[in-house]
Structure 1
Amino acid sequence: MKKFTLMLMVFVLSLMVASAALANGVEPATKQVKMKIEKVYYMKGSGYYVAHTTKDQDGHFWVLQVTDIATPKEDKAFSQVLRKQYNGKQVVVTYVEPLDEDEEVEIWDVKLK
Structure 2
Amino acid sequence: MKKFTVLLMVFVLSLMVSGVTMASGTEQESKQATMTVDKVYYMKGSGYYVAHTTKDEEGHFWVLQVTDIAIPKEDKSFTEVLRKQYQGKQVVVTYAEPLNDDEEVEIWGVKLK
TM-score, with normalisation over the residues of structure 2? 0.82
Aligned mates of 1:7, 1:70 — CA distance in 2 = 15
* Aligned equivalent of 1:24: 24
Q: State the number of aligned residues.
A: 98
Q: CA deviation at 1:7?
A: 5.2
Structure with the larger helix share: 1
Q: Secondary structure at the match of 1:73?
A: coil
Aligned mates of 2:95, 2:101 — CA distance in 1 = 15
TM-score, with normalisation over the residues of structure 1? 0.82
Aligned residue among 8, 11, 22 for 1:6:
11
Code of the residue aligned with 1:105 in structure 2: it is V
- Over 3 Å off, 4+ runs: none
Q: Secondary structure at the match of 2:80?
A: helix
**Structure 2: runs of 5+ lacking an equivalent:** 1-9, 14-19
Q: Secondary structure at the match of 1:34?
A: strand
> Identity across aligned pairs (percent)?
72
Code of the residue aligned with 1:6 in structure 2: it is F
**Structure 1: runs of 5+ lacking an equivalent:** 9-17
Code of the residue aligned with 1:40 in structure 2: it is V
Q: CA deviation at 1:25?
A: 2.4
CA RMSD of aligned residues (A): 1.4
Code of the residue aligned with 2:43 in structure 1: it is M
- Checking the alignment, whether the CA contact within 8 Å between 1:95 and 1:108 is kept in structure 2 is yes
Q: CA deviation at 1:70?
A: 0.3
